[in-house]
Chains A and B, each alone.
Chain A
Amino acid sequence: MKLSRLIIAATMLVAATLANAKDFTFTAIPDQDSSQLQLRFGKVAKYLETQLGVKVNYVPVKSYAAAVTAFRNDEVQLAWFGGLSGVQARLLVPGSEAIAQGYEDQFFKTYFIAHTSAGVKPGESFPEGIEGLTLTFGSKGSTSGRLMPEFYIREHFKRAPEEVFSRVGFSTDHSRTIALVNTGAYQIGVVNYKVWETELAEGKVDPEKVQVIWETPVYPDYQWSIRGDVDGNWGAGFSAKVKAALLGMNDPDLLASFPRQSFVEAKNSDYQPILDTAKSIGLID
């Protein structure tokens, strides 16, 4: 009785996994509230499925690097990357292309945020008086939460962040960066401005306790990248179909899960500044 039930359950699962074997699969970097990932990207998978006419899966990953590795090893063929992770991924997969970016990603920026008790005044130029405080980045592989802010910190102080601040942490994602500065665990945080604005609007931030003290100049960020060999596996023109589906995504509910107002065209060369910056601070050899 018990055994038969087990066997039935197991067979059902195997059947389910076998069906997954050759599906078009995408992933996304876990850049914010990771408990909502399945919810956010499950809808996107459904949308792509209707647009492309093939089965589409979303697989969640735990880190930016895991997203890049999955893309590199052809476990996923499409990915919603950050600027840096996209550059890393496309370097590793010759022939892969950045095909679409959020409208906002053409001029993305990082917010430096501070707990009010740190006493740093907001301003137009790089914040004076943050030396010696504690700072948290986002993920180690984040563009807006690590690469760009580290670049500006090094440019200003001519020193590594570890030598400028009394403590440097990596919060692992933007939501957590905001939470850590909100509670005062860190005095300064560097965060993706879209996540900040979303969480501010949702009331997750106490404006009495945390405020934006500086915004960086703009740079290109998130994008959809696709492997070069998808046309061979899913038929000629598949890549173009995916691109059209992404650019044509106009359901506000779907766009809100990124959150972007729309998607626009992107190409690999748009991200040359990110590659140069990553090289200049030694994140890419």
Chain B
Amino acid sequence: MMSIRGVSVSFVILAMVCIAFADIEVIAADPWSEFGRIGLGFITPSFFSWSELLTSLANTIAFALVGVAVAAGLGLLLAPFFHWRVVRLFCSFIRSVHELFWALLFLQVFGLHTVTGLLAIIIPFTGIFTKVYAEILEEVDQRPLNALPIKALNTGSAYIYARLAVAWPQLVIYTRYRLECGIRSSSVLGFVGLPTLGFHLETYFKQGDYSQAAGVLYLFFLIIASLRLWTHRRGLLILLLASLIWLPFELSTNPEIILRFLTHDILPQPMRDAASLLDVSVWADMFNWCVKLVQTQVGIGVWNTLLLTMISLVGSGIVTLLLYPLVSPLFFRKRWRLPGHLFLVVLRSIPELMLAFVVVVMVGPSMLPAIIALSLHNGAIIAHLIGHSTITLKLPLGAARGLNRYAYEVTPRIYRPFLAFLFYRWEVILRESAILGILGIHTLGFYVDSAFEELRFDRALFLILITALLNILVDIVSRRIRKQLRLTALPEIR
């Protein structure tokens, strides 16, 4: 039987073992002077070319809005069928592949086109929406449904009026939250060449133009921070419409390219070159092809991805426990909580990839930047939610203050939801761990990136599928643990 304490201790020990195996060297000779230059850049932001910046800002928002809107619609359609195993598996698969991997795949077919950016968001987000919508609908007050006559139970009207209508406020809150994630994803797509904010951010950071990089980052913060101002119902509709007009849609891709990609490019090389698939030697070659990939890339990639994931999971936990008091009314007055809020907002709104990229520039591409970025980003997300949830905690009269209050009164009380949030983030952390490989850390993403650079799409797809499988496995383990410990969490964390 698992216990909260047992699980916590095992994960911490596991993470410590992982650290012993991980490459956490500081490679840069003088990271502090680079840090100084970055700091200087942030004090002296510059906006190199407004037309370029504003165009990429508009693209970022447009990709996110249209992508999230379509995905939410599809999620709403699929959610009632989530109890079908095939739908569940399908959703679990499409969300197990990271947006950037989808983008890299679609780039081969549609090029740097609107469709590439939209599909890269729509596909994984549909998987997430379907799952979370289904869970919200499940957990909603069942009384209106129970009041219906039996023969009306499975009708569309019952679904709309007795479930959807009841769950609607929660669905809206969750969808709005996902829009913020959509903007993050959409910016990050710039790293592989789509014309969003990430495009310039990557360029400027790489070239060491930190003032300009800071300019882009400030613009990004501005949209995240002002999100609430323009995501009321009418504003959203207008913006959605504007986005549809803004994005160029005419597609120049011919079906031949799609066909070639599906029937040639992604087929494993031995199959592609074979005269007939009935030949036994083809399958022997196929076997060797797989074995060689597993020996040279998959093994190391999976190993490093898991190391990074386990360390960052515990790292996120530690960051959460350190930071949540900053935004909790049980520890600080409102005035003093403001800087803490700001700090957490900044940390959780920068996508991990961007954060890691900045740290890589400082300390070099060991696993250290990835650990730092993942722990800070995910820690800040959970700390924000946990800190807020302490508002509802009623401490006994004359409860201890200061450190004692933290250690004996509050932390034990929030420990269960904290653990629940952390385990929900596990698969997200794994997905990001894999993707951070494109920065040079030898996780699965490194080999996926290499395969794309060598134009070996068969290998790329194979590696992406391995990553997806790993993600699904972690999801299953996490669900088991949550079930055993009876942990549940807010939709925002899932």
Q: Which residues of A contact B (CB under 8 A)?
A: 2-3, 6-7, 10-11, 13-14, 17-18, 21, 33-35, 59, 61-66, 68-70, 73, 75, 88, 92, 115, 134, 139-141, 167, 169-170, 172-173, 175-176, 179-180, 183-186, 283-285
The answer to whether B203 and A35 have CB atoms under 8 Å apart is: yes
Chain A residue with the shortest CB-CB distance to B190 = A62
B453 near A139 (CB under 8 angstroms)?
yes
A and B contact pairs by CB, cutoff 8 A, 18 listed = A6-B242, A7-B245, A10-B245, A10-B246, A35-B207, A61-B193, A62-B202, A63-B193, A63-B453, A65-B454, A66-B112, A69-B455, A73-B108, A73-B111, A134-B27, A140-B453, A173-B206, A283-B454
Given A11-B245, A70-B111, 16 further pairs, Cβ under 8 A: A7-B242, A18-B250, A21-B252, A34-B203, A34-B206, A35-B203, A62-B191, A65-B454, A73-B108, A88-B455, A134-B27, A140-B453, A176-B207, A185-B28, A185-B29, A283-B454
* Cβ–Cβ contact B252 & A170, under 8 A: no
B318 interface contact, C-beta 8 A? no
- Pair A179/B208 contact, Cβ less than 8 Å: yes
B99 in the interface, Cβ–Cβ < 8 Å?
Answer: no
B225-263 interface with A by 8 A CB criterion: 238, 242, 245-246, 248, 250, 252-253, 257
Contact B30 A183 (CB under 8 A): yes
- Check B207 against A33 for contact (C-beta < 8 Å): yes
Interface size (B, Cβ < 8 Å)?
Answer: 42
The chain B residue sitting closest to A282, CB to CB, is: B454
B440: Cβ under 8 A from any A Cβ:
yes
CA distance A180 to B360 in the complex (A): 11
Out of A13, A115, A179, A186, name the residue touching B27 (CB < 8 Å).
A186
Partner of A184 from B29, B252, B365 at Cβ < 8 Å: B29
Give the chain B neighbours of A170 by CB distance below 8 A.
440
A263 vs B192: C-alpha distance in the bound complex, in angstroms? 31
Q: Name the residue of chain B whose CB is nearest to the CB of A186.
A: B27
Contact partners of B456 in chain A: CB under 8 A = 285
Does B170 interact with chain A (Cβ within 8 Å)? no
Q: How far is the CA of A2 from the CA of B235 in the complex (A)?
A: 11
Q: How far is the CB of B242 from chain A (nearest CB, A)?
A: 5
Q: For B191, B207, B212, B453, which residue has the most chain A Cβ atoms within 10 angstroms?
A: B453
Q: Across the interface, which residues of A come within 8 angstroms of B28, CB to CB?
A: 183-185
Complex contact A184–B112 (CB within 8 A): no
Residue of A139, A183, A184 most packed against chain B (CB within 10 A):
A183
User: Closest B-chain residue to A17, C-beta based?
Assistant: B248
User: Least Cβ distance of A101 to chain B in Å?
Assistant: 22
Q: In the complex, which residues of chain A have a beta carbon less than 8 angstroms from the beta carbon of B108?
A: 69, 73
Taking CB atoms, residues of chain B closer than 8 Å to A69 are 107-108, 111, 455
| B285 at interface by CB-CB < 8 Å | no
The closest CB in chain A to the CB of B199 belongs to A62
**Closest Cβ–Cβ distance, residue B310 to chain A (whole Å):** 23
- A141 proximity list for chain B (CB < 8 A): 453-454
